[in-house]
């Protein structure tokens, strides 16, 4: 389905029929659509060579020049070829790592302005319906025309759709929506149901509803702009540069390196983004006021509690290191020499939960604990991975719990459930994400899973008192 091109500018004089008028270029409207074929310019346009700065060279003579009546076509063609061979510029590959270093300390407004200046109508802002409305505001402030696209998965919150409408009206733009292939969605739902991602991970659903539509969108561009920040996810986004060659997707020209990815707010903290949004009085998604910090599809997004990391509300049933949908898969820094078969790091990580009152369970130990129908005392066990930031965040409170319950008749234990133990923990111990906390009552054969993400001492103690 052809998407309408959306532009916005502080002045409408540079926009003709949704195309962008540039200096030195014919004023004929340029047809450019995300995810669709581009129409060629008029045949009679004079040929030009393009350098990386985007400037056109007028030194090449037009190939459609009419020969004089007495001239021979063959000598003329030979002359033209010789002139072109002498005058064609050598296009150098731009060093985007070097450009990223130059822009490392630049403001988001400067980075946005550079991106729009460099790519014009061949770049677009990826808008998710969350706080990356800041990107649209920065683009608006540059005074340059810009394009915005979004992925409509068909499973967004009603509040997000209303937010899209508010943003369009506020900026006077049209967002270019990309939709999943209906046949693919139908096949997934018919074979696995509406909520298969709760059972086998979200990657397959995201691939159908988000990644493939995004791939189609980016094939119509040379660059795209995202709202990624380093502080959003320490496990996957901690080393995002402000500009990079996209490591995953292809752009308009096709092939590796054909798409450039701009991240203007990579170095900005979340609080500063929100201060900017409040100062500029722009529309925001009403879900934020309800505790939603990172917003995606309705079944996979929930509000977070005060003090929780913003990404804990996304795919909350999975490991912290899996909290990417595939749109930014290239953020994950992989070293095949340091990875085991489960894709988890083998690099030495200091163990956590070190209280002297904690029992460290082996695989055999926790299997024995599960077999006991009549235990002498109740147990509370955390299933953890030492590299997990959410496990690390609860270390102090869990150690304090162990010290508090010492001598009370309740055993406090830990079981490392990553690596080779992960499949066992998923099948036998209800492991969904790290950390998972289990209580083994005295007179029950099956453990009870702690249902809350509040992992402070008081909350854990209250739960123990209810089930012991």
DSSP for residue 1: -
Active site residue 391: yes
CA-wise closest residue to 297 among 198, 127, 153: 153
Residue among 206, 297, 300, 391 flagged as catalytic: 391
CATH class of the region 359-467: alpha beta
Q: Distance (Å, rounded) from C-alpha 416 to C-alpha 186? A: 39
Question: Long-range contacts: 199-206, Cβ < 8 Å, 24+?
Answer: 201/318, 201/322, 202/300, 202/315, 202/318, 202/322, 202/325, 203/322, 203/325, 203/326, 206/325, 206/326, 206/327
For the chain, what are the domain ranges?
Answer: 103-331, 359-467
Rounded CA separation 44/57 (Å): 17
pLDDT of amino acid 60: 37
User: Higher-confidence residue: 53 or 193?
Assistant: 193
Q: Chain-wide mean pLDDT for the chain?
A: 77
Q: What is the pLDDT of residues 407-463, one digit of tens each?
A: 899 999 999 999 999 999 999 999 988 999 999 998 776 899 998 878 888 889 999
Q: Is the pLDDT of residue 272 over 50?
A: yes
How many whole angstroms separate alpha carbon 389 and alpha carbon 406? 26
DSSP 62-92: PTTPPPPTTS-HHHHHHHHHHHHHHHPPPPP
CA gyration radius for the chain? 28
Q: In the structure, what pLDDT confidence band is assigned to residue 74 with cuts at 50, 70 and 90?
A: very low
Of residues 79 and 442, the one with the higher pLDDT is: 442
Token pair belonging to 375:
């235990």
Quick check: 256 pLDDT over 60?
yes
pLDDT band at 76 (very low <50, low <70, confident <90, very high): low
C-alpha 383, offset from chain centre: 28
Distance separating alpha carbons of residues 68 and 41, to the nearest angstrom: 27
Mind listing the pLDDT tens digit for each residue in 376-406?
Answer: 889 999 999 998 878 887 888 899 999 999 9
Specify the pLDDT at position 131: 82
pLDDT recorded at residue 56: 39
Is residue 20 over pLDDT 70? Answer: no
Sheet hosting strand 359-360, strand order edge to edge = 359-360, 411-416, 379-384, 436-440, 448-449
Note the pLDDT tens digit of each residue in 24-50.
434 444 444 454 434 334 334 344 333
Say whether 205 is catalytic: no
Could you give the CA distance from residue 314 to residue 298 in angstroms, rounded to a whole number? 10
Q: Residue 62 pLDDT > 50, yes or no? A: no
Nearest-10 crossing angle of helices 133-142, 108-119: 70
**Residue 362 pLDDT > 80:** yes
Model pLDDT, residue 134: 95
* Domain 103-331 part of CATH 3.30.450.40: no
The residue from 205, 297, 325, 388 that is catalytic is 388
72: its two tokens = 């021979």
* Tokens (6 digits) for 280: 């500029």
Instruction: Measure CA of the first residue to CA of the last residue in the chain; give whole Å.
Output: 59
> Who has greater pLDDT, 367 or 8?
367
Both tokens of 109, joined, read: 């407004």
3-state per-residue secondary structure call for 183-230: HHHHHHHHHHCCCCHHHHCCHHHHHHHHHHHHHHHHCCCCEEECCCCH
Mean pLDDT of 123-136: 91
Indicate the angle between helix axes 133-142 and 270-280, nearest 10 degrees. Answer: 60
pLDDT tens-digit profile of 298-340? 888 888 766 666 667 676 666 554 444 445 444 544 433 333 3
Least confident window among 93-97, 146-150, 174-178, 423-427: 93-97
- In angstroms, the CA 319 to CA 417 distance is 11
Instruction: Give the burial string for 435-464 (b: 16+ CB within 10 Å, else e).
Output: bbbbbbbeeeeebbebeebbbbbeebeebb
């Amino acid at each position: 389905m052809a998407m309408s091109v959306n532009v916005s500018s502080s002045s409408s004089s540079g926009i003709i029929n949704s195309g962008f008028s540039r200096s030195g270029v014919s004023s004929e409207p340029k047809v450019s659509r995300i995810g669709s074929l581009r129409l060629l310019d008029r045949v009679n346009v004079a040929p030009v060579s393009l350098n990386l700065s985007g400037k056109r060279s007028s030194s090449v003579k037009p190939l459609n020049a009419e020969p004089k009546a007495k001239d021979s076509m063959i000598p003329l063609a030979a002359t033209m070829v010789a002139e072109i061979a002498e005058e064609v510029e050598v296009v150098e590959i731009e060093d985007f790592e070097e450009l990223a270093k130059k822009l490392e300390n630049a403001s988001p407004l400067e980075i946005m302005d550079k991106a729009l200046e460099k790519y014009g109508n061949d770049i677009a802002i990826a808008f998710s319906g969350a706080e990356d409305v800041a990107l649209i505001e920065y683009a608006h402030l540059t005074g340059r025309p810009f394009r915005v696209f979004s992925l409509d998965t068909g499973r967004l919150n009603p509040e997000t759709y209303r937010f899209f409408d508010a943003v369009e009206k506020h900026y006077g733009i049209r967002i270019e929506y990309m939709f999943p292939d209906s046949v693919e969605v139908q096949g997934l739902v018919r074979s696995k149901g509406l909520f298969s991602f709760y059972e086998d991970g979200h990657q397959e659903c995201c691939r159908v509803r988000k990644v493939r539509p995004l791939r189609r969108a980016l094939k119509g561009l040379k660059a795209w702009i995202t709202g990624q920040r380093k502080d959003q996810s320490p496990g996957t986004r901690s080393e995002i540069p402000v500009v990079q060659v996209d490591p995953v997707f292809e752009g308009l020209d096709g092939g590796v390196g054909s798409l450039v990815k701009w991240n203007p707010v990579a170095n900005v903290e979340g609080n500063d983004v929100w201060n900017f949004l409040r100062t500029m009085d722009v529309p925001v998604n009403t879900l934020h006021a309800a505790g939603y910090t990172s917003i995606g599809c309705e079944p996979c997004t929930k509000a977070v509690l005060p003090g929780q990391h913003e990404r804990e509300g996304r795919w909350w049933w999975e490991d912290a290191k899996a909290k990417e949908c595939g749109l930014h898969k290239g953020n994950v820094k992989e070293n095949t020499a340091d990875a085991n078969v489960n894709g988890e790091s083998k690099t030495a990580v200091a163990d956590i939960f070190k209280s002297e009152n904690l029992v460290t369970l082996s695989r055999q130990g926790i299997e024995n604990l599960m077999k006991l129908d009549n235990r002498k005392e109740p147990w509370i066990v955390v299933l953890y991975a030492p590299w997990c930031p959410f496990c690390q965040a609860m270390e102090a409170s869990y150690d304090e719990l162990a010290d508090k319950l010492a001598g009370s008749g309740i055993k406090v234990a830990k079981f490392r459930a990553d690596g080779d133990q992960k499949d066992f923990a998923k099948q036998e111990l209800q492991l969904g994400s790290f950390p998972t906390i289990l209580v083994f009552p005295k007179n029950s054969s099956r453990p009870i899973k702690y249902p809350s993400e509040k992992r402070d001492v008081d909350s854990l103690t209250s739960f123990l008192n209810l089930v012991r």
